[in-house]
A and B are shown apart, each in its own frame.
Chain A
Amino acid sequence: MYRTKFADHLVLIIGALFLIVPVIVAFMTSMHTAAEIHRTGLTLMPGDHFAETYTKVLTQQGGFTGQITGARMVLNSLILGLGFATGKIILSMLAAYAIVYFRFRFATLAFWIIFTTLLLPLEVRIMPSYEVMTKLHLTNTYTGLIVPLLASATGTFYFRQFFKSVPEELLEAARIDGAGPIKFFIDILVPLSKTMIAAIFIIMFVYGWNQYLWPMLMTTDESFFTLMRGIKQILQVWVGSQIPDYNEAFALAVLAILPPVLIVVVFQSWFIKGLTESDK
C-alpha cells in the first residue's frame, strides 16, 4: 500500500552518513602520524601506522599523563562500567521487589524518597557531593568512583515497571504452593526477568563506561584514570604544543567508543527493548 520512494532512502542514507562518518574518520585518521594529519587534515583513507599508534597508546608509560597506560585506563573504565551495572541491578531489583510485592507502612514514603532522585542529576550537586566524598575519605578509590553513581532511581524505576507487568496469577499460584517471598524472588521472579536484567545491564554498562564529570572529580591519582579522564588529560596537554598528537587523541577516542558501541550493536534487540519498555 505504501510504495517506498527513492527520497526515503536518500534521507536515511544522509542521516546514517551524518551519524557514522565522523566515527569512521576518527578511526581512519588515527592510523596516520600526527605530522601527516597536521599537513593533510582529517581523512577517510586508512594509514599505515595503526599498530604503532595503538601499541604506543595502550602500553607506553607516560603517553599523555606520565604514569598511566591506555590499557590501564581501559581496565579502569571496565571496572567502572561493570561495577556500576552490577551494583545498580542488585540494588534496584531488591528495592523494586520490596515496593511492588510487599505491603508495609512506609511503602509510599520509600517510593517518593527513591524517585525524587530522578529529578536532580549528579551534575547539579557535584560540589557538595565532592565534599561529602572527601569527608568519607573515598576520593581515589573504586568505591568512591562507583557507589555514589548508584544513588539514582533509574534502575529501580525500570524494574518496578517490569514487575508490575508480571501476571498476578504467578504470585497467587506460588503462594498456594507455599513459596515464601525469598523463594518466589529467586525461583520465579529472577528467571522471569532475565531479558530485562540483560537489557538494563547493557544500558547501565554504557552509562558507567561513559561517565565523565564524576571520575574527573574523584580521581586525582592517575592510576585510577578512566578513558574519559584520559581524554580530558590529552586535551590539556595540547595547550602550547607545536603539533598536537592528533593521532593519539583519535586512538584514545576509538578505544573509548569501541566497547560500548559493539555491545549496543550486537545486543541491539535486548537493548532497544530495555530502553523503550521503561517509558510506559
Chain B
Amino acid sequence: MKRVQFNSPYLPYLFLAPQLLVIFVFFYWPSMQAIQSSFYIEDPFGFGSTFVGFSNYSDSLFNPEYYLIAKFTGIFTALVTFFSLAIGLLLAVKADAVIRGSATYKTLLISVYAIAPPVAGLIGMMFFDQHIGPFVKLAAVFGWNMQVGINYFDTAFAMVVVSVWKQIPYNFIFFLSGLQGVPVSVREAAYIDCRSGIRRFWTVIMPLLAPTAFFLLIINVTYALFDTFGVIDVMVKDKAANNPITLVYKVYMDGFRGNDIGGSSAQSVILMIVVFAITIIQFRFIERRVHYT
C-alpha cells in the first residue's frame, strides 16, 4: 500500500461497488448455493427438496467410480504439469541461448498460446481420428492399435498430448522472460567458475528461476484441473461411458446430464476444498524452498 493515500468517506466504496456487486452476485451467491444444495436431495420433478445431511458427500466419496476418476485426475494433472513445464523450460533455455533467429523462434513458439482448449481438442481429435488421423497410422506401424474415444488408455494418452501441446507456449513465455532477467554478470561469473553447462544451469540459473517455476506450478495445476474441460469435452463428446474424465467433468456430467443437483453440488464443494488445500500446501511448503532475489 502507498505511504500517501487519499482520504474520502465515500469514493473508495463507490469505486469498489461495481466489482463487489458482480462478485457477490456471481461468485459468493452461487458458492453459498452450492454448499446449501449439497445437503439436500432435489425432487427430480421440482417439487421441493429434502434435507439429507452429509449423504450426498458420502455417496460421492465412497463410490468406487468417484475414486477411479479422482485417481485419473491426479495422474492426468501430474503428467500434464510435468511435461508442459519441462518442455516449456527446455525450449526457453534453448531460445535464450541462440542469437540468430531468436525472434522468429519466439514468435512461432508463443503463437499457439491463444488457441482455445476445445479447438485444441478438435484438432487433436483429427490427428487421433480412426480414419484420417496420422498418429493412429503412425502407431499402427509400431503395432499399436490406437482407438481414441473407445479405449480408455488411448483416450487418456491423446488428452495428455493435446493438453500439454496447448500449455507449452504459456510456460515458454514465462521461463524465457525469467531467463532474460538473469543478470549477465552472474552468468559470466558462473562461466568462469564452472565449465559444465548442465551443472551451471542447475546450480546458478535454476535457483534464480525458482520463483517463476513456483508461480507456473500453481498455474499449471489449475490449468490441468479446470481449463482442460474443453479438451476433455470435445474428446469424449458427452459419452463418458468408457472414457477417462476429470473430477470437474464429472461435476458437469452429474449436474447437467444426470440432473443430480445435490450430488453435483457436493462434488463442487469437495473440489473447492481440494483447491483451497492445494493452494495452502503450495504456499506453506514449496514457497519456503524458493529464494526470492
**Does A198 sit at the interface, judged by CB under 8 A?**
no
Query: How many interface residues does A have (CB within 8 Å)?
Result: 97
> Can you name the residue of chain B whose Cβ is closest to the Cβ of A262?
B114
Contact: B91 with A12, CB < 8 Å? yes
**Does A156 sit at the interface, judged by CB under 8 A?**
yes
Contact: A124 with B174, CB < 8 Å? no
**How far apart are the CA atoms of A95 and B119 in the complex, in Å?**
34
Interface string of B97-136 (1 = CB under 8 A from A): 1111100011111111111111100111111000111100
Query: Would you give the shortest CB distance from A37 to chain B, in whole angstroms?
Result: 6
Which of A100, A126, A206, A209 contacts B252 (CB under 8 A)?
A126
> Can you name the residue of chain B whose Cβ is closest to the Cβ of A5?
B97
Query: How many interface residues does B have (CB within 8 Å)?
Result: 98
**Does B54 sit at the interface, judged by CB under 8 A?**
no
Which of B16-24, B57-65, B69-77 forms contacts with chain A? B16-24
Interface string of B1-19 (1 = CB under 8 A from A): 1111111100111011011
Query: Would you give the shortest CB distance from B70 to chain A, in whole angstroms?
Result: 15
Residues of chain A in range 195-210 having any CB-CB distance to chain B below 8 Å:
206, 209-210
**Does A51 sit at the interface, judged by CB under 8 A?**
no
Enumerate chain B residues within 8 angstroms of A98, measured Cβ to Cβ: 11-13, 15-16
Which of B5, B125, B233, B279 contacts A212 (CB under 8 A)?
B233
In the complex with contacts A128-B34, A181-B8, A279-B174, A94-B255 CB distance below 8 A: no
Contact: A213 with B91, CB < 8 Å? no
Contact: B131 with A38, CB < 8 Å? yes
In the complex with contacts A4-B97, A11-B94, A26-B27 CB distance below 8 A: no
**Does B185 sit at the interface, judged by CB under 8 A?**
no
**Does A256 sit at the interface, judged by CB under 8 A?**
yes
Contact: B212 with A279, CB < 8 Å? yes
Contact: A102 with B6, CB < 8 Å? yes
**Does B147 sit at the interface, judged by CB under 8 A?**
no
**Does B52 sit at the interface, judged by CB under 8 A?**
no
Residue picked from B34, B233, B272, most chain A C-beta under 10 Å:
B34
Chain B positions within 8 Å of A, measured between CB atoms, are: 1-8, 11-13, 15-16, 18-20, 22-23, 25-31, 33-34, 37, 87, 90-91, 94-95, 97-101, 105-119, 122-127, 131-134, 137, 165, 168-169, 173-174, 177-178, 188, 191, 212, 215, 222, 226-227, 229-230, 233-234, 237-238, 248, 251-252, 255-256, 261, 264-265, 268, 271-272, 275-276, 279
Chain A positions within 8 Å of B, measured between CB atoms, are: 1-2, 4, 8-9, 11-12, 15-16, 18-20, 22-23, 25-26, 29, 37-38, 41-42, 90-92, 94-95, 97-104, 107, 110, 113-114, 117, 119-121, 123-132, 136, 147-148, 150-153, 156, 164, 168, 171-172, 175, 181-182, 184, 206, 209-213, 217, 228, 231-232, 235-236, 239, 246, 249-250, 253, 256-257, 260-261, 263-265, 268, 272, 275-276, 279
